[in-house]
Amino acid sequence: KTSDYKTLNKEKPIVIAHRGASGLYPEHTIKAYETAIEQGADFIEPDLVMTSDGVLIISHDSYLSATTNIADHPEFADRKTSRETPLGVQEDWWVDDFTLEEIKTLKARQAFKGRSKAHDDIYDIVTFEEIMDLAIHHANKGRIVGLHIEAKWPNYFASIGHDMVDPLLNGIEKKQLQKLGIPVFIQCFEPSFLNKVSQKSDLPLIQNIAIEKTAKPMGWDIKIEDTTTTGLGIYKELVLNSDGSTSDYVARAHAAGLVVHVYTLRDDAVMEGYSSVEDELIALFNAGVDGVWADFPATALKVRDAL
Ligand code: G3P
Ligand code: CA
């Protein structure tokens, strides 16, 4: 059966639980990760940012309003500031203005429109160390789950004196993930960060590609032939066409020796031209993608395991 897969290495494509099972529980919480592990995800995905005291924590955003209950904390009311970001000016509570101790007083909230908020205000914000400990805990019981780790805005954090390269690599080294057989990918939208990581580590790297042309620091114009990482993390529209056909993107990446991981598969947000997330997944797997990020990993696993 293995030889039937159309992936670069002819092995099963991987299912990466995007921010954990974030379709079911607030993203990046232990509950979301544990659920993904129970469902059988191959990898869980933490997005990393850094606190004012230099601790790597897990958050998709570098601000706290969307995924936490900080707005309900009167003690932080005057800590909102306006900041110019590569995506525009925004007023918010910024992660790098808060210590880990302060952030640990917050609780996570579902950020995705239309999803249940029944599990809001229960779960803590998770540190990088804690997600590594979670993977180690499961590995010690015989359940290997990989970490597909994204560094968010590392050049910004470096510019304020919080370089992420060493804390990231030293953390992984200290926890001896490799020795325990826990697979790790490092992914980032910023090519210069991955380049720095490659000078200090042999870990497999995934160059993410954004399609928003306004997001220039995010590597939106990366060319397959210029890429020196293990692979690419791409938006599904680069493979799935709106008429239901697929592009030659995966074949071109494979020809260049690059794996392709695709974001983001969502049961509740399907592309034009596709009637369901299952249709999207079948088309992606038939195109040969090597992995998918899924908000509902159980759905992706069901389709993948029926291949
Ligand atoms: O990291 C790639 C994938 O997770 C999609 O990006 O914005 O959800 O971190 P994002
Ligand atoms: Ca991510």
Does ligand 1 lie within 6 Å of residue 47's CB atom?
A: yes
> How far apart, in whole angstroms, are the C-alpha atoms of residue 283 and residue 159?
41
pTM, to two decimals: 0.97
Inter-helix orientation angle 30-39/297-305, to 10°? 20
- Residue whose C-alpha is closest to residue 212's, from 239, 187, 237: 237
Pairing of strands 81-85, 14-17: unpaired
Contact 14, 115 (CB under 8 A): no
Q: Classify residue 161 by burial, with Cβ atoms within 10 Å: 0-12, 13-18, 19+.
A: exposed
Ligand 2 centre and the CA of 43: distance in Å?
12
Instruction: Kindly calculate the radius of gyration of the chain based on its CA atoms and give it in whole angstroms.
Output: 19
> How far apart, in whole angstroms, are the C-alpha atoms of residue 151 and residue 60?
9
Number of domains in the chain: 1
**Three-state secondary-structure class, residue 27:** coil
Taking CA atoms only, the protein residue closest to ligand 1 atom 10 is 60
Question: Which ipTM was obtained for this model?
Answer: 0.98
Strand spans (E) along 21-168: 43-44, 47-50, 56-58, 81-85, 88-92, 146-151
Can you tell me which atom of ligand 1 is nearest the CA of 235? Answer: 5
**Three-state secondary-structure class, residue 260:** strand
Give per-residue burial for 225-234: e unless 16+ CB within 10 Å, then b: eebebbbbbb
Q: Is the pLDDT assigned to residue 263 strictly greater than 60?
A: yes
Q: Which domain holds residue 274?
A: 2-305
Does ligand 1 lie within 6 Å of residue 264's CB atom?
A: yes
pLDDT in tens, 32-87: 999 999 999 999 999 999 999 999 999 999 999 999 999 999 999 999 999 998 77
Contact 49, 62 (CB under 8 A): yes
Residue type, 193: F
Q: Which ligand is nearest to the CA of 22?
A: 1
CATH label of the domain that carries residue 231:
3.20.20.190
Q: Which ligand is nearest to the CA of 188?
A: 1
Ligand 1 centre and the CA of 60: distance in Å?
8
Does ligand 1 lie within 6 Å of residue 233's CB atom?
A: yes
* pLDDT-derived band at 291, boundaries 50, 70, 90: very high
264 cis-preceded (ω within 30 degrees of 0): yes
